[in-house]
Amino acid sequence: MIINNKMMGERVITEDPIVINASRKKYKNIYKLVLKYTLQNASSPFKRSIEITNGGEDPLYTLNESKGGIYNINIASIKKKLMTQKVIKVFLMENPANDRMAMPSRRKLLIELHLK
């Protein structure tokens, strides 16, 4: 994860999501967030996107993969929405690249952020 052009951390995502407890004051000056996601099988027949939701999983922001697992999230456009939430969830969405493929869509919870 890169926040405001500064590498903030790197974690291996297993079956369980990463849970982060954070203060609103610490993150109120964020203007740019980049998520890099590397898959073991990157040649799978899916197109990927990131979905940011509130605690009730109502969509707040969706972003398609730009190149090779990199997601540049424009925080300025959703900052007011995010700062009013108590829980923010980040999902990886995988949909078949071709709509005629008989494959189910997938949704995996990557990060759960609790703001105080």
The three-state DSSP-derived secondary structure of the chain is CEECCEECCCCCCCCCCEEEEECHHHHCCCCEEEEECCCCCCCCCEEEEEEEEECCCCEEEEEECCECCEEEEEHHHHHHHHHCCCEEEEEEEEEECCCCCCCCCEEEEEEEEEEC
Residue 52 lies in a domain: yes
pLDDT digits (tens, 9 = 90+) for 36-66: 777 666 556 778 888 999 989 899 888 887 6
Range of the structural domain that residue 111 is part of: 2-6+18-115
Residue 12 lies in a domain: no
Residue 11 lies in a domain: no
The count of domains in the chain is: 1
| Stretch among 8-17, 66-75, 94-103, 104-113 having the lowest mean pLDDT | 8-17
CATH of the domain at 35: 2.60.40
